[in-house]
Amino acid sequence: MQALMRGVGFEPTNPYGTLHIFSSGASVQGQKAGSPDRSLEKTYSVKPLHGSVAGLDRVTILGSVLDWGRFQEYVRNNYSRVHASAIINYARRYWYVLVREDFSDILTLSPAKRRHVLSALACLSKFLGKYDRFVELKKKHGVKIEQNIKISFQLDDSSLRELCGYIVKSREVLAEHGYETLIDLMLASGMRVSEAIASYNLIIKLHENGKLESYYRNGFLEHFRFESLFCRRSKNVYVSYAPEHVVAGVASRGKPATIGKIRKILEKHGLQVRLKEVRKLWASYMTRHLTEPEINLIQGRVGKSIFMTHYFNPSYTLDLKKRLERGVRELFMLVATGVADVKL
């Protein structure tokens, strides 16, 4: 490997530094309630546009009355902001499928869009207590969700150098606004963007209140202790490894962030928002040090029972930490230089 540059968030010659961070101590838009839409029956026979249902306060689906306002409240209280918005949007566009009990329109959608629509309709049917009927109809029409879950993110040498250059450039741009440590945290942990921002803000808040030790212990950010933030219905993250130097940087230099702020800064400097690729790069590189089940454990693609069984095994956790430490150090050096001695 060529001579190392200054690592992103690390000093390559002393990756973890000497910092010590602990001290003692629905509403439904459209017509008003009481003015029902008389065209409801007509919408059952044609695919409705968003506007054709926007004025409905209540509709009957699978034999149950749906209150759109309550459904939106239910979704927003149980899913992340972005995912909740997608569920509500697709549910309002495709609710007629459940009314007609005809899934033929879904079969014509692309696999990616079909997943989103089925996820929204599954949520809608659960809210109505009719999920069994939804499953029955889906099976009857042969509608399936194509799984496309991969932990590998294949890059050739040129693409790898380009991605590393993007990460370094993004960090430099964000550093001008005090957000560079967010990139460090994402690169070290492999979290989703929304999870990384939630963790980043939580570190700052707890450090200011002298309670960071309730979240960061023995090199791991223990997200499971803040279940309402990190353990959701569809996507979870239980723990993330993060070197003390990275957490110290967030705690001492970071300032509260939102995805909106980060996007605005990057776009202002002509950079696309490609932060999701940091997570994919982490997962691909960590195949050199972790097994696939271990990567799934760290990235939250396992059930709570599996997480509890493994994480609280002292001998297992110690070995896992050593391999994570080695892998993260190498990954930071890779990003700083753009060159890997072993192909991904």
Comparing CA positions, the residue from 145, 324, 139 lying closest to residue 234 is 145
Per-residue pLDDT of the chain (344 residues; tens, 9 = 90+): 444 444 445 444 333 333 333 333 433 344 444 444 444 333 333 343 333 344 456 667 776 777 888 899 998 888 777 788 899 999 999 989 888 888 888 888 888 888 899 999 999 999 989 899 999 888 888 887 665 545 445 566 678 888 999 999 999 999 999 999 999 999 999 999 999 999 999 999 999 999 999 999 999 999 999 988 898 766 789 999 999 999 999 999 888 999 999 999 999 999 988 999 999 999 999 999 999 989 998 998 887 777 877 777 777 788 899 999 999 999 999 998 865 554 44
Residues 6+ apart with CB under 8 A from 95: 53, 59, 61, 66, 121, 124
Interatomic CA distance for residues 64 and 128, integer angstroms = 6
DSSP secondary structure of 70-139: HHHHHHHHHS-HHHHHHHHHHHHHHTHHHHHT--HHHHTS-HHHHHHHHHHHHHHHHHHT-HHHHHHHHH
R_g of the chain computed on alpha carbons: 23
* Cross-strand bridge partners of residue 283: none
Which amino acid, 211?
K
CA distances from 195 to 185, 198, 221 (A): 11, 5, 12
> Is the sign of the CA dihedral 37, 39, 43, 46 positive or negative?
negative
Residues 239, 223: contact at Cβ < 8 Å? yes
Domains along the chain with CATH numbers? 40-140 (no CATH), 157-337 (1.10.443)
CA distances from 267 to 6, 8, 263 (A): 26, 21, 6
